[in-house]
Each structure stands twice: as structure tokens, then as C-alpha cells.
Amino acid sequence: MKKIKIRGGRPLKGHIEIGGMKNAALPILFATIITNDVCTVDNLPPVGDIQVALDILSNMGATVRRSGPTQVEIDTRGVRQGTSPAALVRRLRGSTYLIGSELARFSRAKVGLSGGCNFGARPIDLHKKGFVALGATVTDDDGYVSAFVHGRLKGTKIIMDNISVGATANILMAACTAEGVTTIENAAHEPHIVDLASFLNNCGAHITGAGTSIIKVRGVEKLHGCHYTIIPDMIEAGTYMVAAAATKGEVVLDNVISRHLDAVSAKMREMGITVLDEGDRITVKTTGSFGSANIQAVPYPGFPTDMQPQITALLSIADGISTVTENVFKKRFRYVEELQRMGAAINVDDQNSTATIVGVRTLHGATVTSTDLRAGAAMVIAGLAAEGETCILEVAETIERGYYDIVGKLRAVGADIELVEE
């Protein structure tokens, strides 16, 4: 059992190096299966979810070799279709990507239903609809999703009912080796979709338009391996930006792509926080108080749902009244109860998925539970800003899945924080 203990109230000062993006790395790791070859993936964050993905690949017959602290070489020639271990798959939402990658390589797939962060229903109907449109027969039985097609999938036009990162990525993978052209309309624009498309193109795919609403894939017979470097994690960077502001500190984030954080930077500036953007680094500083804001969590390039709990923690100590509306995962407010234990004045209107936050002068330390990955990050931010000691529970199951060495990185910029293992 791991806990994080924080004695709050110290301004963060210094530099933090941002690692590779977990949510870009996951689809890319599973996409290596399509290549039936050797891929080297660099800037891989050494976090829990990535280790689970590598373990799934090894279990399926891939040879996974660490060639550096953030680099792995994956040889997927030995991968056997339909052999992903259900127990590991259940721990990782991203394992849904195995359906697209197995279909692309083997014309059939069988994958257990996946888990991941629990913030309400996370259906995969759009993924399945996409595979069916490409000519696959998709069935659900006994907790598994199966898909198959005689010969190759057939390129077609797919109009997504709503914007989904997961479905766009999964369909993109399947379409790479389909016959003819696939067009995905109303596609997700997220940087991780662009990163997946770049990886696939490096492996010989023909994808254009990634990062816009219309992605075109001209199918090829097969892909090959490549050497690929994952983009920096915008959510890790955004989390430390908010932590810097919450502690009234001054932090420089190195190795970022600042335009990925434009929506976060804009909101923080609106609150009166200084955010200096220098391309591959961002500086955040604030000395006095900061104001409230109204935020809508929406798909990229809007304010990211994966930053919603962290910004709510910050707004809980802003001057004035703020609102945060969650438009992607309507029930993503379970963590609010934990912030309330620390003295935050937040009221959630479940009907409208909106939190109204009345800023308080300060939070106070408490024992709180990390209810999911980003909620845990919000607890860390609240603990850093609070008076007294905060103890965060369920760290290994949540925070460590997506933040590499969060305790070490924060300690290096002056936080009084420790990881306690019992």
C-alpha cells in the first residue's frame, strides 16, 4: 500500500523535465503489433500503465527489450493473435487498441473487456461501429470482444457520431492495412492522434489529415518497423503548471510542446497567473492571489478533460466564484468529495455536469483518497497548497499509473513530499 504525504504551503521553484506522453505511447505500443517487425520506441514514460502494456505484448509473444531508461525495442514477429491475458487487459483502458491492431495484422481479433480510470461508463460502441463499417463482423461474448473479416478490411467513409480519441485511434490502426481509402470524419484532433499517425506513417502507412476533423488513410498491404520518439506529455506538464500556480511559486517546464497547452495557458492567464511560453519550455509564476474562471472541458483544442480535476483544485483557492463543466465524461467529479474534506467549497450539479466553486482563502491538510489518475494529481496539487499535512491513499493504483516519479520531481522543486510504502 503506497501513500503520498505532503506538508503543504511551500512555493515550488525550479525546473521540471517533462516525460513522454502516456496516452500517445499506449496506442503506439499496441500498434507495433501491426508491423510484424522490430520497432524502437523512445521517450517512453516509465509509468505503471506503460509497464502493463509491455507485459501484455510480452505475454502475446513479443520480445520486449529495454535499451535505455525510456527506450524499448519491441519485436512483434512472435505475437500470436487473441492471446492477450484478460487479467492484464482489464487493468488498462488502452488495451482496447488491441482490437484495431490485431485486426490490421491478422484480420481477426479477440480481446477481453478493458478497465482503466473509473469515471462513469466508457463504452466502445464507436470503435465497434468503425470496424463493422470496414467490413468486420464484431461480436461480444463472455467478456471478450471478437472481430474478424475474410481477407482484408475494406476502406470506406466513417462519420463518427461524436468525437472519441480511443475510437479514432483504433479505427486508424485497423484502416492502415485495409484495401482502398478510409476517411474518418468528425475525428478527434488530439496531439496523441497526430503522434499515432506519425508513428504509423513512419512504419509505411499513408495517413493524411491527422490533427484535423477529417483523416484519410490509403491502405497498404503491410507495415514495417521503425524508430520513433513519443511526444512530451501535455497533461503531465499541465499538472505541474497548475501546481506551480497553486503554491504561488515559479516553475519552468522543460521539454514541452507549448502549443499543446494553449487552452490551459489561456485559462491560467485569464485568472491572472503569468504563463510565459517559449516553444519547448513554459514558465509559470504567481506571487499574489489569482482570480476565478469558467471552464468547459471539451475535446482538443479546447480545455482537456484530463486537466479538469487539477484546475478545479486550483480554482478552489482562487478569488471569487468559478464554474467547471465537464462535457466529455459527465460523471468525472467523484474526487470533489475529497477536495471538500480539505475545505474546498464546491457544489456539483450532476444534471448539468457542472461544479460551482467558491474560492476559499486556504485549504487544510486531510487524509484523502485518489479516486483515479487525474483526480490523484488534483489531490497532490491541493496538498501542496494546503496548510498542514495531507495524506493521499491509493497512489499505486492511480497516480503512479500515469506520473513518473511525481514525488521526486516535486521534491526537486522544493515540495515537502514523500512516498510512504507500507
Residues that bind ligand UD1 (CB under 6 A): 23, 26, 93-94, 122-127, 162, 164-167, 305-306, 328-329
Distance CA 117, CA 305 (A): 13
Least distance in angstroms from the C-beta of 104 to ligand UD1: 18
Least distance in angstroms from the C-beta of 186 to ligand UD1: 11
Contacts of 314 (CB under 8 A, 6+ apart): 242, 245, 246, 271, 381
Distance CA 184, CA 102 (A): 19
Residue type, 320: G
Angle (nearest 5°) at CA 70 between 64 and 71: 45
Least distance in angstroms from the C-beta of 194 to ligand UD1: 14
Q: Which is nearer to ligand UD1, 165 or 207 (CB)?
A: 165
Q: Which is nearer to ligand UD1, 11 or 309 (CB)?
A: 309
Contact 42, 279 (CB under 8 A): no
Element housing 420 (H / E): strand 416-421
Least distance in angstroms from the C-beta of 24 to ligand UD1: 8
Report the 10 Å Cβ neighbour count for 54: 18
Distance CA 219, CA 314 (A): 46
Distance CA 21, CA 192 (A): 8
**5-26: b (≥16 Cβ within 10 Å) or e:** bbbbebbbeeebebbbbbbbbb
Q: Which is nearer to ligand UD1, 35 or 114 (CB)?
A: 114
Q: Which is nearer to ligand UD1, 186 or 202 (CB)?
A: 186
Least distance in angstroms from the C-beta of 402 to ligand UD1: 8
Instruction: Give the SS3 label for residue 317.
Output: coil
Active site residue 117: yes
Distance CA 281, CA 361 (A): 30
Beta strands in 36-113 (DSSP E): 38-42, 63-68, 71-75, 108-112
Q: Which is nearer to ligand UD1, 110 or 127 (CB)?
A: 127
* Residue number with the smallest Cβ distance to ligand UD1: 166
Least distance in angstroms from the C-beta of 28 to ligand UD1: 11
Q: Which is nearer to ligand UD1, 97 or 290 (CB)?
A: 97
Residue type, 340: Q
Candidate list 39, 117, 176, 226, residue with the active-site label: 117
Q: Which is nearer to ligand UD1, 103 or 318 (CB)?
A: 103
Distance CA 17, CA 70 (A): 13
Least distance in angstroms from the C-beta of 252 to ligand UD1: 26
Residue 137 grid cell: 463482423
**DSSP structure string for 176-226:** TTSBSEEEEES----HHHHHHHHHHHHTT-EEE-BTBSEEEEE--S-----
* Catalytic residue set: 117
